[in-house]
A and B are shown apart, each in its own frame.
Chain A
Amino acid sequence: MATFGRALLIVAFALTLYGIGASLYGAIAHRRAWVDSGRRAVYSLAGVLTVAFVVLEAAFLRNDFSFSVVATHSSTTTPTGYKMAAAWSSQEGSLLLWVWLLSLWSSLVLYLTRRRVREIAPYATAVLLGFGAFFLMLVIFFASPFKTLANPPLQGTGLDALLLHPAMMIHPPMLYSGYTLCAVPFAFAIGALITRQVNVEWVQITRRFALGAWLFLGIGIILGARWSYTELGWGGYWGWDAVENASLLPWLTMTAYIHSIMIQEKRGMLKVWNATLVLATGTLAILGTFLVRSGILDSIHAFGASTLGVPFLILIGVMIVGSIGLVVGRRGILRSEHSLDSFFSREAIFIVQNIVLVGMAFVVFWGTFFPLISEAVTGTKTSVGPPWFDRYTVPLALVLVVLTGVGPLIAWRRATLANLRRNFVVPLLVALVALVALLAIGAGDQPKALLMFVAAAFVIGCVGQELFRGTRARQTMSKEAAPVALVSLVRRNRRRYGGYIAHVGFAVLLLAVAASSSFQHAKDISLTPGQSTRIDGYTVRYTQATAAATAQKISLGARVDISKAGKHVTTLRTTRNFYPSQDTSLGIVGRFFNGDSDSVVGLRAGVGRDLWTVINPDLKPLQPIINQGDATFRTAMTTLVRNGGSSASVNKLYQLRDTAIAGITQRFITHPWAADFRILVSPLASWIWIGAIIIALGGLIAIWPMPHGAARRVRAGYAARVARDLARS
């Protein structure tokens, strides 16, 4: 099957080369048949790569350890779901996933646009296939997922213990979907610039794909954050790690892009800016992929150092030089059709919002790459930590939240005093009430958090007012009940209200980040069973030690009761799992306690606050008995081998060893000693995930296609509203 897989990759590579050639020849020679053939090469590519990916997944599911990646990333004891996910836990498999997803998205966009933008599409096809060819070259020549072993082992190494988390099954495919979707608007922008077709059509065609990229990247990022929240040593839900930052960069610039294209659509402005943004986003998506794989920056989430850095650098260099060359070369036809009339206008607010987003992206970029920059300048690698990132991103995020409220309400072209009064009095009153209430409950000692709360209240006020007005107007027109009118309102203008909903989610998410980071209580303490401690009004009692031993792992843990004012609140269970080491030089018993380990956090998520705890049991008290076990079994094994013991005897010895290990493990319960705990009380932390769900919901509503007639009516209605705004000013 590996040979079949390799053959599929070669066929796929040949298809990309053919498709590029056919598309470009068709475009230059105006031969429609060749262009169509190039597009069909993309469909075929998707088909071939689907089969290749199925072959790889089948190898994981069949425990076919003749595949090198299966032997090193899975085992017979790996649960089925994780076996499938193990395919992309490897460098090789993840590259195949990348190019497979790219082929699927490319097929979708080219199918949907097969009768539109006929001049741009062949070039976009060539660019998309160019990306495909690059990644196929990597999986054929540098990191083949179909590499085989001459002597396959009977058992594989298994998936890294840290990756045994449900998010592993969905987080990487989401991120890769986001990254690969970024290539779609990038490709069409290149096509538009080459063919000088820089009108708004290519922007409208790729808008949903840009939104899809933004949505998938966002979901991927938030799933990663959630995973990190429950993983010890990954810096909580956000640690400003290089790989985390790499995924945030294209998300920030894509956020800027999906807002600024509205100005190009409505007023024919910001063409250079939009082209630059979308090209930068495509490049940053590749940069993110490169960062995870090159090993050039220290990250807890990166693949090991590899030889893929140079090819990626060449690709990024080509993308940057090509993008700059095209934008500079086409600057004449990218001129704005209008200029900014007033700073008090929606255009101006969108521009400021774009500057803030790009400024944020620059801060994140600079901080992420600072170790490399400083080494190049001073010869010393210097890194900046979370406080440096927070210093810049917190004020920028505050401005951004305020703008998410102002942007949708302010008039196009020039806002009048009446417009400002009509739209902002209520939200400002909501913000004022929030400020007074927060000061009254003593939130004033955290000014940044306080400002974020007030800004979020302002945004919720803005959007709430818009929804209320829209619903009321619809009720007046159609006599519908309020909930029905609200749903109809959102359904009939999905882009607009989807955006508003996403804005509320964004405000809620940042509010929760501010609350959970500024008002978090943390305690590190050593406790023995029966002992208790207090944190933020809660009494935390280590009630019972727990222990378990299986073939896969040893688990030492604790049951922790949490109460407040004498009333039981919850019981948390936290464990630390120890996985057997592969190092055969370790003792026969000791290797079960000296392998990889991971922590299972005890978490009670609540609307008001999260209660979070993790145990770090000290194995030192077990060490003498482990050493004794090692010595005893070493002697027994030596004796058995010397006397030519049967395999039944060896198995009996291993059974005795298993019993001994289970006995040693039980000492954690029968002779308990102190274990270290970290306890956190994080206010509103759950709202981070709720905010993210609201953003995703808003994104889905905005992306969901409307029936053609309804869309036309909405466009007409919106055009009338814009015209009213313009006429008023």
Chain B
Amino acid sequence: MDPSRKRRIRLIMAATAAVFLASALIYTSFSAGSDEKTAGQLHDNAIVGKQYTLAGTVAAHSVQHGADGVLWFSVVDPHRPVSVRVRYKGIIPDPFREGRGVLVKVTKEGTTFVGEKDSLTTKCPSKFQVAPPRGPAKSGSGMSSKQT
């Protein structure tokens, strides 16, 4: 076979395979992806049984530890005073705290949102940018060490 024709056929085959694989990639990313929603969006429009990625801030005084390692907390919408209650079980990231930004995969069950196990991520916009100290160090911080 003419080498240039051979090369062209190889190129077409490779391009077809690449297009096919890229299409599969694009299709599955849209179908398997989880929509990122705010608390307000979920409060208004969440469909029971569908999974979403809830993004927002952990509401003040909302964190409660229930039985069997269940964690309850509310996530506040960043744009309006709406929050949704989340029931979560799994790894609680070290930086998780009230007032911190979080991402968690949730599914609506009744009036609450159930978090997928181990899906809780604490966003850390302040992680490397800690707020500057407000003033001189407090005196009397020489706490003694006691170890058992």
A-B interaction: yes
- Residue numbers of A with Cβ under 8 A of B are 68, 71-73, 89-91, 149, 153-158, 160-163, 231-235, 295, 298, 300, 302-305, 339, 359, 362-363, 366-367, 370-371, 374, 380-385, 387-388, 391-392, 524-526, 546-551, 580, 582, 584, 596-599, 616, 618, 620, 647, 650-651, 653-655, 657-659, 661-662, 665-666, 669, 676, 678
Identify the 6 closest CB pairs spanning chains A and B, nearest first: A233-B93, A654-B140, A155-B137, A382-B33, A658-B143, A304-B129
Q: A232-B94, A391-B32, A582-B133 are in contact. List 8 more A-B contacts (CB 8 A).
A: A160-B128, A300-B95, A304-B128, A370-B33, A384-B32, A385-B34, A388-B28, A599-B94
Is B48's beta carbon under 8 Å from chain A? Answer: no
B residues 91-133 with Cβ under 8 Å of A? 91-97, 103, 105, 119-133
Q: List 7 A-B contacts (CB under 8 A).
A: A232-B91, A235-B121, A380-B35, A385-B34, A548-B146, A551-B141, A662-B146
Point out which of B134, B144, B146 has the most chain A C-beta atoms below 10 A from its C-beta. Answer: B146
Instruction: Report yes or no: B90 in contact with A388, Cβ–Cβ below 8 A.
Output: no
- B30–A231 CB distance below 8 A: no
A234 to B93, Cβ gap below 8 A?
A: yes
Give the complex CA separation of A155 and B30 in angstroms: 50
B34 — nearest CB in chain A belongs to which residue?
Answer: A383
B91 in contact with A233 (CB, 8 Å) = yes
Q: In the complex, A366 Cα to B96 Cα: how many Å? A: 28
A647–B138 CA distance with the chains assembled, in angstroms: 12
What is the CA–CA distance of A154 and B131 in the complex, to the nearest angstrom?
A: 15
B135 within 8 A of A: yes
Contact B33 A374 (CB under 8 A): yes
Within the assembled complex, what's the spacing in Å between the Cα atoms of A481 and B142? 64
Q: Indicate if the CB atoms of A366 and B137 lie closer than 8 Å.
A: no
Q: How far is the CA of A525 from the CA of B69 in the complex (A)?
A: 7
Shortest C-beta distance, A482 to chain B (Å), equals 45
Contacts of B146 in A (CB 8 A): 547-549, 662, 665-666
Does B21 touch A at the CB level, under 8 Å?
A: yes
B120 to chain A: closest residue by CB:
A233
Chain B residues near A153 (CB, 8 Å)?
A: 132-137
* Residues in B lying within 8 Å of A, measured CB to CB: 3, 7, 21-22, 25-26, 28-30, 32-36, 53, 55, 65, 67-69, 89-97, 103, 105, 119-148
User: Are B142 and A658 interface neighbours, CB within 8 A?
Assistant: yes
Known: A153-B135, A363-B25, A388-B32. A551 touches B143 (CB 8 A): yes
- On whether the beta carbons of A366 and B25 are closer than 8 Å, the reply is yes
Chain B proximity of A710: nearest CB distance (Å): 40
Contact with A91, one of B26, B68, B128, B142 (Cβ below 8 angstroms): B128
Measured in the bound complex, the distance between the Cα atoms of B68 and A235 in whole Å is 22
Q: Quick one: which of A233, A391, A651 contacts B96, CB cutoff 8 A? A: A233
A156-B133, A304-B129, A388-B29 known; A550 vs B91 contact (CB < 8 Å): no
A661 touches B143 (CB 8 A): yes
B residues less than 8 Å from A381 (CB atoms) = 35-36
- Say whether, besides A392-B25, A584-B134, A382 and B35 are in contact (CB < 8 Å): yes
A233 touches which one: B55, B94, B136, B145 (CB < 8 A)? B94
Tell me if A551 and B139 are in contact (CB < 8 A): no
Q: A234-B93, A547-B148 are in contact. Are A380 and B129 (CB under 8 A)?
A: no
Residue of B nearest to A546 (CB): B148
**CB-CB < 8 A to B131: which residues of A?**
72, 157, 582
- Decide if A374 touches B139 in the complex (CB within 8 Å): no
Q: Evaluate whether A550 and B143 lie within 8 angstroms (CB atoms) in the complex, with A162-B127, A304-B128, A339-B7 already known.
A: yes
- The answer on a CB contact under 8 Å between A295 and B125 is yes
A606 vs chain B, min Cβ distance (A): 23
A346 CB → nearest B CB, Å: 18
Nearest CB in chain A to that of B103: its residue = A298
Which B residues lie within 8 Å of A598 (CB)? 94
Contacts A304-B127, A383-B33, A658-B142 hold; do A524 and B89 have CB atoms under 8 A apart? yes
Report whether B29 and A367 are in contact in the complex, using a CB–CB cutoff of 8 Å.
yes
Instruction: Tell me if A382 and B65 are in contact (CB < 8 A).
Output: no
By the criterion CB–CB under 8 Å, are B36 and A382 in contact? yes
Contacts of A647 in B (CB 8 A): 139
B91 engages A678 (CB within 8 Å) = yes
Are A524 and B69 in touch, CB under 8 angstroms? yes
A362 to B23, CA, bound (A): 13
> A669 near B36 (CB under 8 angstroms)?
no
- Name B128's contact: one of A303, A371, A392, A548 (CB within 8 Å): A303
- Contact residues in A for B91 (Cβ distance below 8 Å): 232-233, 678
Q: Are B95 and A548 in contact (CB under 8 A)?
A: no
Residues of chain B lying within 8 A (CB to CB) of residue A551? 141-143
**Which residues of chain B have C-beta atoms less than 8 A from A374's C-beta?**
29-30, 33
Q: Which residues of A contact B69 (CB under 8 A)?
A: 524-526, 616, 676
Across the two chains, which residue of chain A brings its CB closest to B53?
A: A383
Q: Is B148 a contact of A524 with CB atoms below 8 Å? A: no
CB of B44, distance to nearest CB on chain A (Å): 14
Which residues of B sit under 8 angstroms from A366, Cβ to Cβ? 25-26, 29
Given A90-B128, A616-B92: A155 touches B133 (CB 8 Å cut-off): yes
B30 in contact with A382 (CB, 8 Å): yes
Bound-state CA distance A153–B95 (Å) is 25
A339 touches B92 (CB 8 A): no
Residues of B within 8 A of A90 (CB): 128-129
Contacts of B105 in A (CB 8 A): 385
Closest residue to A363 on the B side, CB-wise? B25
In the assembled complex, the Cα of A647 lies from the Cα of B143 at a distance in Å of 17
Q: Which A-chain residue is minimally distant from B63 (CB atoms)?
A: A620
Give, as a whole number of angstroms, the nearest-CB distance from A552 to chain B: 9
Chain A residues whose C-beta falls within 8 Å of the C-beta of B139 in the assembled complex? 647, 650-651, 654
In the assembled complex, the Cα of A678 lies from the Cα of B94 at a distance in Å of 13
Q: Closest B residue to A340 by CB, please name it.
A: B10
CA distance A657 to B65 in the complex (A): 27
Q: Which of A298, A582, A597 has the most CB of B within 10 A?
A: A298
What separation, in Å, do the CA atoms of A549 and B141 have in the docked complex? Answer: 11
Judge whether B90 and A524 touch: CB under 8 Å: yes
Please, how many angstroms separate the alpha-carbon atoms of A476 and B84 in the complex?
76
Compute how far the CA of A701 lies from the CA of B134 in the bound complex, rounded to whole angstroms. 52
Residues of B within 8 A of A525 (CB): 69
CB distance from B24 to the nearest CB of A (A): 9
Known A-B contacts A524-B90, A548-B147, A669-B148; the reply to A154 vs B136 at CB < 8 A is: yes
Please pick, from B3, B126, B143, the residue contacting A549 in the complex, using a CB distance under 8 A: B143
| A546 surroundings in chain B (CB, below 8 A) | 147-148
CB distance from B20 to the nearest CB of A (A): 12
Q: Which residue of B lies closest to A544 (CB)?
A: B148
A233, A387, A526: the one within 8 Å of B121 (CB): A233
